[in-house]
Amino acid sequence: MRTMLDHVSRPALAAAVLLLAGAAAPAAAQAEEPFPPATPQSVGLSAEALEALADEVTSYIDREMAVGAELLVIKDRRTVLHEAFGWRDREAEVPMERDTLFNIRSMTKPVTGAAAQTLIDDGILALDDRVADYLPGFDNEASGQITIEQLLTHTSGLPLTTVQSTDQYDSLQAMASATGEGGPEFEPGSKFWYSDAGTDTLGAVVEQASGMPLADYVGERLLGPLGMDDSYYSGDPDDPRLARTASLYVGQVGEWTRFWGPEAEPFYPYAWGSQSLYATPEDYARFLAMWLDEGRAGEQEVLSPEAVARMLTPATTMGSLGSDAPSPTLFPDLHVYQGQMALMLVFGEPFDGEPPPDAEPVILGYSGSDGTIAWAWPARDLMILYFTQSRGGASPIRLEAEIQRLLLEPSSGPVAELPAEYGDLVGVYTADFGPFRAEPFEILWRDGQLALDIPSQFIFPLDPVGDEERWALRGAPAELDFVRDEAGVVGGLRLHQGGNIFDGPTGGPEREPEVALQPADVEPYLGWYREDATGREIEVLLQDGRLALRIPETPEPLDLFPPDDDGIWRLRMSQVVGIEFLEEDGEVGAYVARGPGGESTFSRFAPASATDGE
């Protein structure tokens, strides 16, 4: 039941609750080593399977699918695997070490959600409260009815982001106020739409309701009691933990650019609700363990069991970033849902609206866009955390398939040997078409069947189609066959997708040195564009010899590959996104961006600063 206190007095109540609860002191039961080491056999796991899982991560580094990584496996609250791979900073030749700190990006969201739940537990905040009761910027016709629950479930209608640069606003309150003034993009409560802006708003509500800065409140109510002493919010350039923080890389397989390092200015100027928390894998495992223990950390209750149940009850199917398309997973027969700022995987067909009563989460967790991910299996008392700082890579989700294959459903009995008639199909081919730039496609014999390994994506098992030498990619709307010469020698593969046929010759790719673009090469494309559907403004500019997009979602411009034969420029960090500039009479008036979520048109415009004085 809600307290009858008005909103003005709630910050004072929050401070009193903290003082009485003694929340700043870590729980006595939180040992310095919360997950002591144990042998895999002692907890019923295969040492060989864990070694194979570590070998898989090693292959990601060797194949330049990630710059560095840390892998932690905890079973029955015992650490059975904890290894570091590759580089913490490649240019400075600093190797990755265990207990490195990572920018966990969106994995901050469950922490912000848990902070809000503590205020709900204390009677200071309620799910049906209007955000406008806390933030004046939401007190308008468009945003006035958005509720706390809608922020928690990503159903507020607010956009993915309102931020065009990390220093755009001088405080979280200013950021949230601008979001409220901009209003939702669709009717609040009508559907799921992943929203950083909504979670930043939730963080601002936590500040107002608690009367404390977000970082301070989270530290006292969550990080301290959980013993997450290594975790910190960005903003303090003198924080000694910066020395153990991994540098951030952006790019793709074989091409990683150092984007940020701990010697630079803090990535975020203050704590955000949607991101900005840095943590080690072990620290984040403490947070997951709190979920598994119904809100307890040792003898201390951090969240009530009711709060944990609110967070972990499936509320809505989860769409992909900036899209209504379902969020992907490689765990078979599971679908991804959001609860109240928590991600979970559930058996069965996707449902809309009210979930069925038997929709119990099989896996809990969250991921971050710089390459961090964590999974927890409540029924197995198993946690696996895989952290990288290689933004744009697919290794976190690729690892899902290996976890399933090696740990969850290991094969039993002997594996069939490679049939002689398939022997000449196995090998490396070069894909230089569509979203792939000189990428090695490898045909494997794996677990008794052929498979196609696409490094920037996944490993696709191949299912035979008819009696011909043709194969369907399991889980993808594509097929492939092989090209043979008159002597029957395999000279390449052909990928059939969407009515198109793409050729990939045998042999690994040979990358040619890239020629820097000159201003005269790209002058027609440079300038500002506005998305027709949302009004979002994007700048196209030349940066270090590459055409790039300055977009709201990232603090730095994103480079594009030079156009392919069809005139499509592709994002280097995500080649599935293509940009086509529309020209008429030699003038570029717009561009179309196409990706997995559909397409959107951006029309050229002249910003006010460009016309001043005319």
Task: DSSP for 367-423, please give it.
Answer: EETTTEEEEEETTTTEEEEEEE-EET--HHHHHHHHHIIIIIS---SPPPPPPGGGT
**Quick one: pLDDT at residue 32?**
60
pLDDT for the residue numbered 351: 61
Q: CA distances (Å), 33 to each of 116, 243, 283, 286, 298, in order? A: 28, 22, 11, 11, 13
Strand-pairing partners, residue 317, are: 337
User: Band of the pLDDT at 9, cuts 50, 70, 90?
Assistant: very low
pLDDT, residue 555, reads: 57
Grade residue 16 by pLDDT with cuts at 50, 70 and 90. very low
The per-residue pLDDT for range 379-432, each reduced to its tens digit, is 999 999 999 999 989 999 999 999 999 999 998 778 789 999 999 999 999 998
| 69 three-class SS | strand
Q: What is the model's pLDDT at position 10?
A: 36
**Residue 221 and residue 18 in contact, taking contact as beta carbons nearer than 8 Å:** yes
pLDDT of 509 reads 81
Residue with token string 């969240």: 303
Q: Is residue 5 within 8 Å of residue 13, measured between CB atoms?
A: yes
CB 154 within 8 A of CB 195: yes
pLDDT score recorded for residue 355: 62
Predicted pLDDT at 511: 67
Sorted by sequence, the CB contacts under 8 Å of residue 165 that are 6+ apart come out as 555
pLDDT for the residue 231: 97
pLDDT at residue 7 tops 70: no
The separation between CA 34 and the C-alpha centre of its own chain, rounded to angstroms, equals 27
CA atoms within 13 A on the CB side of 526: 12
Cα–Cα dist 26/96, whole Å = 29
Residues 370-382: pLDDT tens digits?
Answer: 999 999 999 999 9
Per-residue pLDDT, 15 = 35
pLDDT digits (tens, 9 = 90+) for 19-39: 333 333 333 344 467 899 999
Taking residues 273-282, report their average pLDDT. Answer: 98
| pLDDT of 65 higher than 80 | yes
Q: Give the pLDDT mean for 308-328.
A: 85
Judged against a pLDDT cut of 50, whether residue 495 lies above it is answered with: yes
> Is the confidence at residue 135, as pLDDT, over 70?
yes
The first and second tokens of residue 491, run together, are: 């000279």
Predicted local distance difference test score (pLDDT) of residue 464: 93
Is pTM beyond 0.95? Reply is no
